Chain A
Amino acid sequence: MKGNEAIAEAALRAGANNYFCYPITPQTEVAEYLARRMPEVGGVFLQGESELAVANMLFGAASTGKRCFTTSSSPGISLMQEAISYMAGAQLPCVIVNIMRGGPGLGGILPAQSDYYQAVKGGGHGDYRLPVLAPSSIQEAVDLTMLAFHIADKYRNPAMVVGDGMIGQMMEAVEFPEKYIEPPLPPKDWAATGAKGRDPHIIKSLFLDPVALEKNSQVLHEKYEQMKRDEVRFENYSVSPENEALIVAYGTMARICQTAIDELGSEGISAGLLRPITLFPFPEKQIYDEASKKNIKAVLVVEMSMAQMFEDVERAVVGKKPVHFFGRTGGIVPTPEEVMSAVRRSLGAESGAKRPRKKS
Chain B
Amino acid sequence: MSETPDTTFKRPESLRDTVTHYCPGCTHGVIHRLVAEALDDLGVRENTVGVAPVGCSVLCYNYFKTDFLESPHGRAPALATGFKRLRPDMIVFTYQGDGDLASIGMAEIVHAANRGEKFTTIFVNNAIYGMTGGQMAPTTLPGQITTTCPAGRDVTQCGYPIRVSELLSTLATPAFIQRVSVHSPQHIILAKRAIRRAFEYQLAGRCFSLVEVLSTCPTNWGVTPSDALKWLEQNLMRYFPLGVFKTPDKPKEQR
Contacts and interface: CB of A to CB of B under 8 A. Distances in A.
B82 A58 contact: yes
A352 to B, nearest CB: 45
B48 A194 contact: yes
B75 A56 contact: yes
Interface residues of A, number: 38
B107 interface: yes
A60 to B, nearest CB: 3
Given A194-B47, A194-B49, A53 B108 contact: yes
Interface stretch (B28-36, B84-92, B137-145): B84-92
Contacts of A196: 46-47
Contacts, number: 129
Contacts of A18: 85-86
B66 A200 contact: yes
The contact size tier of chain B is 20 to 34
Given A64-B83, A202-B61, A206-B58, A192 B72 contact: no
B69 A61 contact: no
Interface in B49-102: 49, 51-52, 58-59, 61, 64-72, 75, 78-87, 90
A83 interface: yes
A31 to B, nearest CB: 16
B81 A59 contact: no
Contact of A202 (B68, B80, B90): B68
Most chain B C-beta atoms within 10 Å of own C-beta, residue among A63, A66, A68: A63
A90 to B, nearest CB: 7
Nearest to A191: B67
Given A49-B107, A53-B111, A204-B69, A61 B85 contact: yes
Interface string A35-66: 00000000010101110111011111111101
Given A20-B82, A44-B85, A49-B111, A59 B68 contact: no
B45 interface: yes
B76 to A, nearest CB: 9
A82 interface: yes
A18 B86 CA distance: 8
B45 A195 contact: yes
A90 B111 contact: no
Contacts of B51: 60
Contact of A60 (B48, B64, B81, B111): B81
Contacts of B61: 200, 202, 204
Interface in A241-285: none
A115 to B, nearest CB: 21
Interface of A: 18, 20, 44, 46, 48-50, 52-54, 56-64, 66, 68, 82-83, 86, 90, 192-197, 200-206
Given A48-B111, A56-B72, 9 more contacts: A20-B82, A44-B86, A57-B78, A59-B82, A60-B80, A61-B83, A62-B82, A197-B46, A201-B68
Shortest Cβ-Cβ A-B pairs, 9 listed: A60-B82, A204-B70, A57-B82, A56-B78, A60-B79, A61-B82, A196-B46, A60-B83, A56-B75
9 contacts: A56-B72, A56-B75, A60-B86, A62-B82, A63-B82, A200-B64, A201-B68, A202-B61, A204-B68
